[in-house]
Structures are given as C-alpha cells and as structure tokens.
Amino acid sequence: MAGDRTRERPRSQASAGDLLHLVRSGRAITRGALQEATGLSRATVGQRLDRLFRAGWLREGAGGPAGSPTGGRPSLRLEFDDAHAVVLAVSLDTRHARAAVLTLTGELLAERSGALSVDEGPERVLGALGGWFAGLLKEAGRSADAVCGIGLGVPGPVDTATGRVVQPPIMPGWDGYDIRGRLGRAFAEQTGGEGGSGDAAGVPVLVDNDANLMAYGEQRTGHPDCAAFALVKVSTGIGAGVVVGGQIYRGIDGGAGDIGHIRVPEGAGTLCRCGSYGCLAAVASGRALARRLTEAGVPAESGSDVRELLAEGHPEAVRLAREAGRSVGEVLATVVTLLNPGVLMIAGDLAGTPFLTGVRELLYQRALPRSTAHLDVVTARLGERSALVGAGALVVEHLYAPDRAEERLAALGL
C-alpha cells in the first residue's frame, strides 16, 4: 500500500505513528492484529497505543469481528477518532470560491460559497477567506482551537513544497506569493486561532492545484480501487489531476496535468491568456466558449455562464460544447494512451452531455483500442464539493502520516 511506512523500517521498530496508520488503513484494528503485523510485544503495542489514546486520536469501540482463538471474548476494535479535530477546506476558482468545515473522515459540517475573484489578488482574496472561516466555525459549533489544518485548492500549478503557485496563466499577481503564510495569518486574525505557515508553529496550510484535489477527492470516495485515475476539469480554464497508486502525481515541480496549454491545430491563430497561441484552453475552455457565444450575440463571460446556457438547452451553447469536447477528446487520446487509466472523469462547468459526447467521439476514434478496453469515462460524483473533499483528505493524510504523527506526538509531550 502506498505510504505504508511499516514496510520501510524493521517491524520491531514500528512507531506509534505506524500503528495509527495500520488502524486507519484497516489493516490491523485490534491489539492482537497490531502485534502480528509489527512483531512488537503486547506491552510495547500497549505503550504506543497509550500515546495515541492520550492524544485523542484513537478510541476503542465494540468487539472486533473475530474473537480470541481460544474462544474468549472478542477483542476490542480500535478506531480512528475523527471527532478530536476538524479541517478547513477551500476550493478557489477564477471568479468563485467554496469553503467548508470537515471532520477528519470527510463529513461536511458547514459550507459556504460565493463570488470571489482571483483577479483581486492574493492579499484581498486570502484575507476574505479568513472571514469566511470564522463564520463557518461558528455554524459548525467548533472553536478555532479544533482546527488541525487548512487545505486550499487553486486554479494554477503549485510547488507543493513551498505552497506557492508557479507562473499561473489565469491568476495575475499570484506568482510566487506566500499563500500559506497569508492564509494562516488570515485564519488567526479572524478566528483568534494560531496562524502558521506550512509546517511551522500554528495551523498547517497545504496548497495544491484544484484539479489535483478534485481527482484525489473523487478517487478516494468513489474509485478507491482504481490504481490509475485521471480527472479533467473544464471550466473557465482546463486542467487535469492524476492519482496513481492512491497518490497524487504532480511531476517534478507541480506542473503535471496542465493540459490546457497543449497546442492544438485548430487554435493556431488564437491567443491564450498564458501569452501563447494555439492552446487547448484558448479554443475549448469555458472562457473560450463564452467569448464565442458573445461574438454570436449571446452574452457570456465565463464557464459558469456557459453552464447556465447549457442547462437551458441553448442550441448554440450545446453545439459549441460538443465541438469543444471533441477538441479535448483528441488531446485526451494521447493522455489515455500514455497513462492507461481505469477511470477518466470529466468535471467542471462544461461536464454535461454535449461536451461528454464530443469527448467520447474523438477519444475512442484516436486512442489505441488497448488503452480504452477497460476505461470508464464518467462525470464527477461529488460535483462542486470534490476539491473540498480532496483538500480535507490531503490535510489528514499529511498530518497523520507515520513520521509526521510521531513529530506531532512529541510536540504534545507524548
């Protein structure tokens, strides 16, 4: 299993963090099973579990499915206690944002959405999100002290080591900006909690590309057994997220999945917002369709406007969406041949029947039959919440990974 640190160190050295991972993954949910999985003595397992109990991260529930081999009482079942903390999650689009308070297992406790344009710049946008956090926590009935981390999805490539966006085509003023630090301070200023930057003291802030988080959320909740999963988000821009072996694939510096800036022949004379001509996003994104509709006398400014026209069955919007789907499908034929995913998910403002039909037409024509023989082409299940679920899961997996869990236990004096 990806991320299983008990395979990276001798069994006899399995830490409390390793035991927590075994319980959370379902591989070992009783004390006896933990002894068997790690080779630790009963006393050592008990000592390490005691640290997790005192931290409030584990609890003992009802008896496990199997009793003692000698016919005694069933062993008590160990469970991850998702009530000891909450996560704040944000999905930031070009003109809109959505934020939520989530439990550690992804249950939504409070949610807010509204207009918030990235064109206003990081200082103003991230400051506004701090105010949203205060209201959401009040609605959820949780204090700022209960927040263990913040996850943020943005519509641009992200260097996850620093949390900074790198040359984002549709986020003017955000290149290299300290998002983690500013959002941590906004949280502290508006809620009275402890602000932080990255993994420094205070609340950790994790930043990733929105398509990555959408893919992570959808794969974990709807397709956990899919070893190669790809999601394409088509809204104001176009981007893709890839999950391989249960982990987000980002490339060497966060640039993986930026398919909106692949050059396509039909866009040769069209200028993209990135400054180049011929990008897929310049001819097949929601912004591109909005421009073409406006030129045809149908006012539209963004992907969300196109979505509304599609919902009304506007004939020109339907025609253009199917045409855009064919353009994206031609690019995805190469993506599918390269990755050989089990699931290709279409998400975003244009992810309706006309666009999906166009994608399927070109994809199955151009991709190798071997690459599509076991491929499911589907639309998003979680809808506009997929990035929120992915952001929450990213924070939890980071904070409760074996080595990080050990560091946090030590910081708590346990």
Distance CA 360, CA 131 (A): 43
| C-alpha–C-alpha distance, residues 204 and 256, integer Å | 24
> What are the pLDDT digits (tens) for 294-353?
999 999 988 989 999 999 999 999 999 999 999 999 999 999 999 999 999 999 999 999
Which letter does DSSP use for residue 271 in this model? B
How many residues does the structure list for the chain?
Answer: 414
Strands 228-234 and 238-244: antiparallel
Tell me which residue has tokens 């406790």: 109
pLDDT at 266: 86
Residues 6+ apart with CB under 8 A from 267: 277, 278, 279, 280, 282, 283
Question: Is 326:358 a contact under the CB 8 Å cutoff?
Answer: yes
Least confident of 72-76, 364-368, 382-386: 72-76
CA-closest candidate to residue 90, choices 401, 390, 348: 390
- Alpha-carbon gap, residue 335 to 330, rounded angstroms: 9
pLDDT at residue 195 greater than cutoff 90: no
Rounded Cα–Cα distance for residues 373 and 328 (Å): 20
Q: How far apart are CA 259 and CA 264, in angstroms?
A: 11
pLDDT in tens, 246-266: 999 999 888 899 999 999 988
Identify the residue whose tokens are 């991230």.
Answer: 126
d(CA 301, CA 336): 31
Q: Is the pLDDT of residue 281 over 50?
A: yes
CB of 22 closer than 8 Å to CB of 28: yes
**CB of 220 closer than 8 Å to CB of 388:** no
pLDDT at 76: 87
Question: DSSP characters for 206-226?
Answer: EEEEHHHHHHHHHHHHH-TT-
Structure tokens given for 233: 């988000």
Whether 73 shows a pLDDT value over 80: the answer reads no
Please provide residue 379's backbone torsions phi and psi, each rounded to the nearest 5 degrees.
-105, 165
Which pTM value belongs to this model? 0.91
Which helix (H) or strand (E) element contains residue 231?
strand 228-234
Q: Which residue has the higher pLDDT, 19 or 202?
A: 19
Q: At which residue do the structure tokens 């866009």 appear?
A: 267
CA–CA distance, 58 with 409 (Å, rounded to integer):
13
Whether the predicted pLDDT of 68 surpasses 80:
no
Among 205, 159, 197, 157, CA closest to 181: 197
The CA distance from 348 to 382, in Å, is 11
Nearest C-alpha neighbor of 406 from the set 34, 39, 18, 42:
18
**What are 157's two structure tokens?**
């490539």
Place of tokens 């991320």: 3
**Amino acid at position 98, single letter:** R
Amino acid at 316: E
- The H or E element containing residue 391 is helix 386-399
Per-residue pLDDT of 141-193, as tens digits, reads 999 999 999 999 999 999 989 999 998 888 999 999 999 999 999 999 998 77
Confidence (pLDDT) at 69: 46
Taken in order of first residue, the domains within the chain and their CATH numbers are: 5-80 (1.10.10.10), 86-210+387-411 (3.30.420.40), 213-383 (3.30.420.40)
| Burial (CB count within 10 angstroms: exposed 0-12, middle 13-18, buried 19+), residue 16 | buried
Q: Which residues pair with 165 in a beta bridge?
A: 158
Q: Tokens 């396509």 appear where?
A: 264
